[in-house]
């Protein structure tokens, strides 16, 4: 039985005080820790999906919406741009642009977005084929690992696409045999895991077919013939067709001309260009207001709980003044009494931290479940950060501060006066 053991027994001897302190402290710390976990994972996800993209070009509208749509695939497009207008930026010989990845959006399957694009998208996310092969023919698709796991699609399976981003039976395009799965990508941990990749022309064809049906136009099927052989397909040969966005990597991102290119596009074309890091920082700062408010509430809860630890220790001192005097009689120095109370404060804080730690990780796992269902983002409650050690240290410090005044009182215990009463 040492001082730590005695401290432990003392706090366990007052279960109601212990419960109150643990619940209050646990809530405060739990909220702070959950915010930390969420913030970290959100930034990690956003950063992963930045994929070195320097600029996104698309239709005029909200630049943030365009970024969220084209890079994170959690929003709708701002509109389409014509290939004729975007042609200079798709030119492989552009002096400033190293990579330009065209995206044609508009359809999905079971809420997983179908992206008409070319193979250059693979290099952005360092994706490799895992099973089967890459899309070659029109209406061939190569799917991300998450899509395969969640929808159960296998190589050789066929499916019809649905218009828009949400799964709705009424919006399904009926198109011959539909899309055919020819390959599955290896998992990358980035957004490409959640995409269905196909040729741009497949997207045009799906919509062209639908528009033709809707207008009952006397449609020349030969003209609308789906060139199911993608070989030789060149986007630049279709200046009248539309795409949704272009993801751009500069040859030199610090080059002045590169830096001023987005402004030039915004000022001199009907398109808009946006820088992903700037927009994401803007998003962080918008979310940050809410996060800061929550964090402040959590800090207030933690401070209230620190006060409850103080009250708990302070009131217990009145009941335990004889105990403390007895300890002095039995040979304990003033320092030991001081340390005993400090240890009790730290133990209360530690238990509160443990409760908060468990609450935050379970809470994060619950949020992860909903985030995955709603946004296809894979958060987890089983991530443990070094910053949590800092929260532990701060919790213990709060315990020490809350116990300080009671500990000083214990230190000043007058044995004679106490035992004479």
Partner 1 sequence: MLSTKNLSYSYNNSNWINFPDLECKADQRYLIIGQSGTGKTTFLHLLAGLLKPKKGSVLINDADLSRMSGPSLDKFRGDNIGIIFQQTHFMDALNVEENLMIAQKLAGHAVNKAEITQILDKLNIAHKQTSKTKNLSQGEKQRVAIARALINKPVVILADEPTSALDDKNCLEVVDLLERTADDANATLLIVTHDNRLMEHFPNQIKLS
Task: Give residues in contact with partner 1 (CB under 8 A).
Answer: 1-2, 6, 9-10, 12-13, 320, 322-323, 325-336, 415-416, 419-420
Min dist CB 305 to partner 1, Å, is 22
SS3 state of residue 246: strand
138-157 per-residue burial string, b: 16 or more CB within 10 A, e: under 16: bbbbbbbbbbbebbebeeeb
Token pair, residue 341, equals: 């109370």
Q: Which is nearer to partner 1, 304 or 329 (CB)?
A: 329
Min dist CB 302 to partner 1, Å, is 27
Alpha-carbon distance of 263 to 168, in angstroms, equals 39
Q: Report angle CA 161, 167, 169 to the nearest 5 degrees.
A: 75
Sequence-distant (6+) residues with CB within 8 A of 189 are 48
Alpha-carbon distance of 17 to 9, in angstroms, equals 13
Q: Which is nearer to partner 1, 409 or 413 (CB)?
A: 413
- The position carrying tokens 């996104």 is 56
Min dist CB 319 to partner 1, Å, is 8
Q: Which is nearer to partner 1, 336 or 372 (CB)?
A: 336
Q: How many CB atoms lie within 10 A of CB 379?
A: 22
Q: Which is nearer to partner 1, 212 or 326 (CB)?
A: 326
Min dist CB 367 to partner 1, Å, is 39
Closest CA to 107 of 34, 196, 232, 25: 196
Sequence-distant (6+) residues with CB within 8 A of 130 are 145, 183, 184, 185, 186, 187
Q: How many CB atoms lie within 10 A of CB 407?
A: 22
Q: If residue 131 lies in a helix (H) or strand (E), which one and from where to where?
A: strand 129-132
Q: Which is nearer to partner 1, 93 or 416 (CB)?
A: 416
Closest CA to 29 of 347, 307, 354: 354
- The position carrying tokens 């040859």 is 251
Min dist CB 412 to partner 1, Å, is 14
Min dist CB 15 to partner 1, Å, is 11
Min dist CB 12 to partner 1, Å, is 7
Q: Which is nearer to partner 1, 289 or 330 (CB)?
A: 330
Provide φ and ψ at 252, rounded to 5°: -140, 110
Closest CA to 279 of 56, 73, 35, 124: 56
Closest CA to 240 of 388, 50, 83: 83
Torsion of the alpha carbons at 109, 110, 115 and 116, rounded to the nearest 10: 0
Q: Using an 8 Å Cβ cutoff, are 239 and 83 in contact?
A: yes
SS3 state of residue 374: helix
Alpha-carbon distance of 163 to 177, in angstroms, equals 16
């Amino acid at each position: 039985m040492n001082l730590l053991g005695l401290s432990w027994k003392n706090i366990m001897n007052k279960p109601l005080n212990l419960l109150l302190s643990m619940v209050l402290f646990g809530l405060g710390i739990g909220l702070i820790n959950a915010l930390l976990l969420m913030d970290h994972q959100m930034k990690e996800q956003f950063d992963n999906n930045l994929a070195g993209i320097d600029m996104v070009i698309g239709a005029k509208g909200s630049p943030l919406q365009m970024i969220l749509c084209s890079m994170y695939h959690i929003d709708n497009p701002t509109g389409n741009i014509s290939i004729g207008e975007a042609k200079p930026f798709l030119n492989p010989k552009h002096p400033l642009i190293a990579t330009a990845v065209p995206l044609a959006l508009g359809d999905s399957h079971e809420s997983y977005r179908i992206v008409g694009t070319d193979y250059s998208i693979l290099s952005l996310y360092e994706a490799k084929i895992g099973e089967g092969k890459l899309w070659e023919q029109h209406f061939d698709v190569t799917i991300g690992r998450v899509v395969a796991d969640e929808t159960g699609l296998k190589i050789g399976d066929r499916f019809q696409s649905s218009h828009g981003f949400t799964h709705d039976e009424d919006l399904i395009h009926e198109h011959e045999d539909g899309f055919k799965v020819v390959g599955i990508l290896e998992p990358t941990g980035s957004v490409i895991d959640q995409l269905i990749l196909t040729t741009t022309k497949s997207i045009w064809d799906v919509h062209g077919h639908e528009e033709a049906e809707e207008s009952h136009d006397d449609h020349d099927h030969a003209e609308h013939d789906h060139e199911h052989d993608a070989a030789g397909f060149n986007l630049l040969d279709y200046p009248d067709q539309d795409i949704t966005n272009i993801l751009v990597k500069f040859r030199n991102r610090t080059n002045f001309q590169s830096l001023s290119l987005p402004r030039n596009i915004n000022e001199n074309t009907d398109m808009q260009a946006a820088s992903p890091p700037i927009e994401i920082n803007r998003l962080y700062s918008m979310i940050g207001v809410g996060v800061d408010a929550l964090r402040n509430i959590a800090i207030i809860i933690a401070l209230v709980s620190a006060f409850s630890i103080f009250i708990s220790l302070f009131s217990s001192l009145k009941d335990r003044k004889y105990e403390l005097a007895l300890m002095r009689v039995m040979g304990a120095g003033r320092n030991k009494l001081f340390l005993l109370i400090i240890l009790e404060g730290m133990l209360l804080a530690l238990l509160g931290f443990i409760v908060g730690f468990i609450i935050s990780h379970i809470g994060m796992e619950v949020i992860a479940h909903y985030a995955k269902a709603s946004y296809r983002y894979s958060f987890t409650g089983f991530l443990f950060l070094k910053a949590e050690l800092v929260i532990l240290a701060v919790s213990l410090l709060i315990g020490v501060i809350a116990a300080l005044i009671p500990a000083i009182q214990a230190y000043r215990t007058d044995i004679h006066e106490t035992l004479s009463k």
